């Protein structure tokens, strides 16, 4: 799971980041925390790695307000939890125009933030599953597929093609939506990494990184293009975390 924090005041960003880190460590939660002083940087970062489950956003920021940032986030991440942290009390009603989960006025005690995060984790963040299943709509009907059985997801003629570890390929139905929109739920799960404009690869099924890309446990290889070279870093980080 990922939490993104955006506040253009660096001291506030560090303070909030410390609060969130303390919360995550105390709950022993598997959470990655990303911090941004610029809303545009947050949006650009998420274009390549997918959205977050929770956003902690300041409202009054230079260039782009937290309200506008929340609206932009909602364009690609409708289920995310947005919590506004701000000194500006007058924006409390506006915050809920983007379905904000809650609104905390600065300065606040860390316990207040912890209470809100408790609610998020308890009621709005789905529990982890050992072998999560997705449902794929095909021309033959809806088919459930265990994520662990998927090697890669390819985009071909406006369809998602699921390549399974047994060599089978399952084609989803035609959709006008782009690859990024069709796969945003898969990226939110955190099991996949984008390796090319039209490819996602299941991190858990990668055997090794090669000079060209990834070699899977069943011998199949998938390329990693220069634009998505950081996919190899994500794979290595996941491998390291698994050992810890």
Residue with tokens 């000079």: 211
What one-character DSSP code corresponds to residue 158? T
The whole-number pLDDT of residue 124 equals 64
Task: Return the minimum-mean-pLDDT range out of 39-43, 120-124, 157-161, 171-175.
Answer: 120-124
On the CB side of 151, CA atoms within 13 Å amount to: 20
Per-residue confidence band for 132, with pLDDT thresholds at 50, 70 and 90: confident
The whole-number pLDDT of residue 244 equals 42
Residue with tokens 């033959």: 140
| Cβ neighbours of residue 223 closer than 8 Å, sequence gap 6 or more | 195, 196, 199, 212, 213
Tokens of 143: 């088919």
Per-residue confidence band for 174, with pLDDT thresholds at 50, 70 and 90: very high
Share of the chain above pLDDT 70, in %: 91
Do 202 and 150 meet the contact criterion of CB atoms below 8 Å apart? yes
**Average pLDDT, stretch 110-134?**
77
The whole-number pLDDT of residue 123 equals 63
Task: Return the minimum-mean-pLDDT range out of 23-37, 122-136, 217-231.
Answer: 122-136
């Amino acid at each position: 799971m990922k939490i993104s924090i955006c506040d253009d005041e660096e001291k506030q960003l560090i303070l909030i980041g410390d609060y969130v880190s303390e919360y995550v460590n105390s709950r022993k939660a598997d959470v990655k925390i990303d911090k941004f002083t610029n809303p545009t940087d947050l949006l650009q970062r998420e274009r390549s790695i997918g959205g977050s489950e929770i956003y902690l956003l300041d409202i009054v920021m230079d260039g782009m307000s937290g309200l506008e940032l929340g609206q932009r986030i909602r364009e690609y991440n409708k289920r995310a939890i947005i919590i506004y942290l701000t000194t500006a009390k007058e924006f409390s009603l506006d915050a809920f125009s983007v379905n904000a989960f809650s609104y905390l006025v600065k300065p606040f005690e860390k316990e207040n933030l912890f209470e809100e995060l408790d609610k998020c984790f308890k009621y709005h963040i789905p529990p982890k599953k050992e072998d999560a299943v997705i449902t794929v709509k095909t021309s033959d009907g809806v088919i459930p597929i265990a994520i662990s059985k998927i090697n890669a997801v390819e985009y071909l003629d406006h369809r998602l093609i699921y390549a399974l570890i047994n060599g089978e390929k399952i084609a989803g139905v035609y959709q006008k939506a782009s690859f990024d929109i069709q796969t945003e739920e898969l990226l939110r799960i955190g099991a996949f990494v984008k390796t090319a404009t039209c490819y996602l690869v299941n991190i858990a099924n990668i055997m090794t990184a090669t000079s060209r890309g990834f070699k899977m446990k069943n011998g199949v290889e998938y390329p990693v293009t220069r634009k998505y070279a950081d996919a190899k870093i994500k794979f290595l980080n996941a491998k390291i975390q698994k050992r810890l």
